[in-house]
Each structure stands twice: as C-alpha cells, then as structure tokens.
Amino acid sequence: MTEDGYNPYEMAQEQFDRIAEKLNLDEGLKDLLREPIREYHFNLPVKMDDGSTKVFRAFRVQHNDALGPCKGGIRFHPEETVDTVRALAMWMTWKTAVADIPLGGGKGGVICDPHDLSDREEENICREYIRAINQNIGPLRDVPAPDVMTSAQHMLWMMDEYETIQGEKYPGVITGKPQDMGGSKGRTEATGYGVIYVLRELLKELDRDIKDTVASIQGFGNVAQYAAELFIEYGGTVVSVSCWDQEDKKAYSYYKEDGIDLEELRSITDRFGSIDKEKAKEKGYERLPGEDWLKHEVDVLIPAALENAITEDNVGEIPSAVDMIVSGANGPITPEADEVLEDRDMIVVPDFLANAGGVTCSYFEQVQSNQNYYWPKEEVLGKLDNSMTSAFYEVWDLAQRKNVRMRDAAYMIAIQRVAEACEARGWV
C-alpha cells in the first residue's frame, strides 16, 4: 500500500481480472498470470561512509517468463513496497508482450533514498543487490535495467559485480549501461521518445497537427525530459513540467504560458530531475503546487513521474479542454479515475504501450551486447520508431474494431500473447 492508500498490485490484478473475464481465460491460466511466478526478498547489509552498516530491504519480482527472459528495471525509492514491485513486474509482462518483443516481465526495488546517499554508498547498494540476486538473474533468465532514481552508472556497477562473481564478461546481463560500456545508443532517450512517437501517430489518426498541440507533463526526470525534447522538436508546446523539491519535501509544477525552454530548465536541474526553484523564478517560470500540472487548459497530459498520479480525488480537476492522456509513467491512473475518464471519452494511451520504448530499446541493447556489435544511433531510433508505431496501430486498430478503449485493446493483445505462450509451452 502506498502512503496515499492505493495498492498498485491490487490495481494491476483488478485490471487483469477484468480482461481475463472478457477473454474467457482458463482458470488455471488466470491463477498463473494474476501473480508472479517467483520473487526474491532480501536484506542488504551496506557499508556506509561513516563506517556503520545499514540494512536495506530489497526485492526482485519475476512475474512471467513464457515469452522469454524476465525484463524490467530496478527502482531506488524510499517508499518502495513489494506490492508496487509486483504490480510493476506484472505491467512489464504486458509491456513486452504488447511491444511484441521476446521477453517476460520482472521488476526490482530497493527501499532507500538516493538523496541521502553518497556515490560510494549507492555503489555499495548496487553491488550488494547483485551479490544477493546473481544466481537468479542473467542474460537468459532475468535482465534488469534502470528505473526511478537509477541510472547508467548504477547499471555499470551492477554489471561489474555480476562479472566479478561469474569470472566472465556478461554485457547482456543488464541494459541501460553507459554507451561506451556496452550500452545502446538512444537508450537514454528511448522511453520519452517512445511516448512521443505514439502521440504523433495518435494525432495523425485524429487529424490534428502536432504543431498546434499543447502539453503539460508531470515530472522532469529522464522520461519527462526526453518526451518534452522530441515533442518540442516536432513543433509542440510544453507549458508545464513538475518535480519533487527535496528541500521543501513536496512537488512543484513550473508553468510558462508560451512554452518552456527545455535547455534552460535542464541547466538548472539536478540528477534527480529537481528544478532549482529560485533560478526557475529568475527565468520567469510560475511556481505552482505539484498537483496543478493537470489543471492547465492543454490538449494532452503526459504523466511521466510515479504511479497513482491521477486519482478519483483529482480527476475532476482536469479541464474539459484536455482530451488526451499519454502515460509515460507506469500505473499513473487509478481504476476509479479511469472510469471517470471513460465517461468523459478521454483518449488514454495506456502506460504499458506508451512507455514501452525503454524496454524495446533495452531489447535492442541486449541483442547488441550479446553480439558485441553496436548500431549507430539513427538505426536504433529508426527501429524503435518502427516498433512503437506498429504496436500503437495494433492497439488502435483493435480498439476501433471492437469499439473498446485503448487500454482494454492493449490488455487483450498482451494477455492473449502471454496466454498463448504459456499454453504452447504446455504450462496449462
């Protein structure tokens, strides 16, 4: 359960149950897919800079591997819970399936706050995590990646620890690595760019010009920044972004009516995606409460921070001008809020389709790492664009044909693919 009372795992199970019912899934298959196949819980003893040892609680959840090795990020967050990780692992299974890549779903998390840790302490957490899980991950088992508050540097420390234990080089054990250390070009941009490839296609279908489209983005971390980058490059306007303020221990949104200047904001942002509030003021940004990101009269909302961003408490505050939501974050809309959005005929591109660009590029990274042969950036991004575009149309076309929402169509495709893989393997 998160602090605000939402349990993402229950949410993920509810969403699954609803579609499983519609698809008439076999009972055994339902039981198999509504829970993770394996999970690992550990206490990591970590040497701190002051000489003490601190114990951090950590998890790795493998939801399903019928389509291939499990795949999914590792998050560092002070409010991480095993249920959040379970939900995220389940969503990874649907994400890889809807993106049509031969991988399963997994997720990891460590309960810690990187704001309070030195680089050395974070390195120690990464190495301890791999010491605990090394027998149960691997290029053919489960391949971690970055997620909330973890970066290419964390992935490199983890890969190094894995290789040290194995005594061999395994660049395919983890993705999202630094580019000169086995990482794929374009991986950093991939999730945010993927969100915009999908939005671009949606706008085409609606016969609307991206150049006349205005967005408000929740977050200013990796996904939000690269979504803003490509959206602005295509001619769109972003009027607001938001971020956590560690000093005030609350979120703020930053608004500029004629559109943010991305490079200007980036230059006053730390590695956690937190914007310097004083400097933002000097540069003419209006500072508003964090939740105001969804109150602006824009065309599209892009939640690109954490889960449970749009709830039954704030969904009513979305102005009627907004008619599209493209989810960059995982699980940003609670089922209650989603019902309200459905009644409003809001077009919602579901998270596990819209943000599948990250894992799709991770898949490309794995392929490159395993071959030890790296592709130019244009090739990576071209392939990514093709994958995201075709995943979008598969979902869009099914939604039109069956007259269902994109979320349901995406679930139908994903669950069907995983169910068929389980059946074909003779698991059920």
Tell me the closest approach of the beta carbon of residue 74 to ligand GLU, in angstroms: 8
Query: Binding mask 297-336 vs ligand GLU (x if CB under 6 A, - otherwise)?
Result: ---------------------------------x------
CA nearest to 416, candidates 94, 13, 72? 94
Residue 358 contacts ligand GLU per CB under 6 A? yes
Rounded-to-5 percentages of helix, strand, coil across the chain: 50, 20, 35
Residue 147 contacts ligand GLU per CB under 6 A? yes
Residue 362 contacts ligand GLU per CB under 6 A? yes
Question: Which of the ranges 213-221, 279-287, 356-364, 390-398 carries the binding residues for ligand GLU, by CB under 6 A?
Answer: 356-364
Rounded to an integer, what distance in angstroms lies between the CA atom of residue 161 and that of residue 158?
A: 5
37, 90, 145, 306: which one binds ligand GLU (CB under 6 A): 145
Residue 225 contacts ligand GLU per CB under 6 A? no
Rounded to an integer, what distance in angstroms lies between the CA atom of residue 279 and that of residue 422?
A: 54
- Choice between 220 and 254, CB closer to ligand GLU: 220
Question: Which of the ranges 34-42, 70-78, 237-245, 338-346 carries the binding residues for ligand GLU, by CB under 6 A?
Answer: 70-78
CA dihedral for 76, 82, 85, 89, sign (positive or negative): positive
The secondary structure of residue 285, as a DSSP letter, is P
Residue 64 contacts ligand GLU per CB under 6 A? no
Is residue 107 part of the annotated active site? The answer reads yes
66, 87, 126, 359: which one binds ligand GLU (CB under 6 A): 359
Q: How far is CA 73 from the centre of its chain?
A: 8
Counting residues that bind ligand GLU (by CB under 6 A) gives 12
Residue 73 contacts ligand GLU per CB under 6 A? yes
Catalytic entry in 71, 107, 177, 256: 107
Tell me the closest approach of the beta carbon of residue 186 to ligand GLU, in angstroms: 12
Rounded to an integer, what distance in angstroms lies between the CA atom of residue 332 and that of residue 341?
A: 13
Question: Which of the ranges 9-17, 36-44, 276-284, 353-361 carries the binding residues for ligand GLU, by CB under 6 A?
Answer: 353-361
418 close to 96: Cβ distance less than 8 angstroms: no
175, 218, 334, 387: which one binds ligand GLU (CB under 6 A): 175
Rounded to an integer, what distance in angstroms lies between the CA atom of residue 161 and that of residue 329?
A: 29
196 close to 302: Cβ distance less than 8 angstroms: no
Radius of gyration of the chain (CA): 20
End-to-end CA distance of the chain: 31
Tell me the closest approach of the beta carbon of residue 357 to ligand GLU, in angstroms: 8
Residue 63 contacts ligand GLU per CB under 6 A? no
Rounded to an integer, what distance in angstroms lies between the CA atom of residue 49 and that of residue 55?
A: 14
How would DSSP label each residue in 336-403?
Answer: HHHHHHHHTT-EEE-HHHHTTHHHHHHHHHHHHHHHT----HHHHHHHHHHHHHHHHHHHHHHHHHHT
- Choice between 216 and 355, CB closer to ligand GLU: 355
Question: Which of the ranges 5-13, 209-217, 236-244, 355-363 carries the binding residues for ligand GLU, by CB under 6 A?
Answer: 355-363
Residue 172 contacts ligand GLU per CB under 6 A? no
- Active site members: 107
Q: Which residues bind ligand GLU (CB under 6 A)?
A: 71-73, 95, 145, 147, 175, 330, 355, 358-359, 362
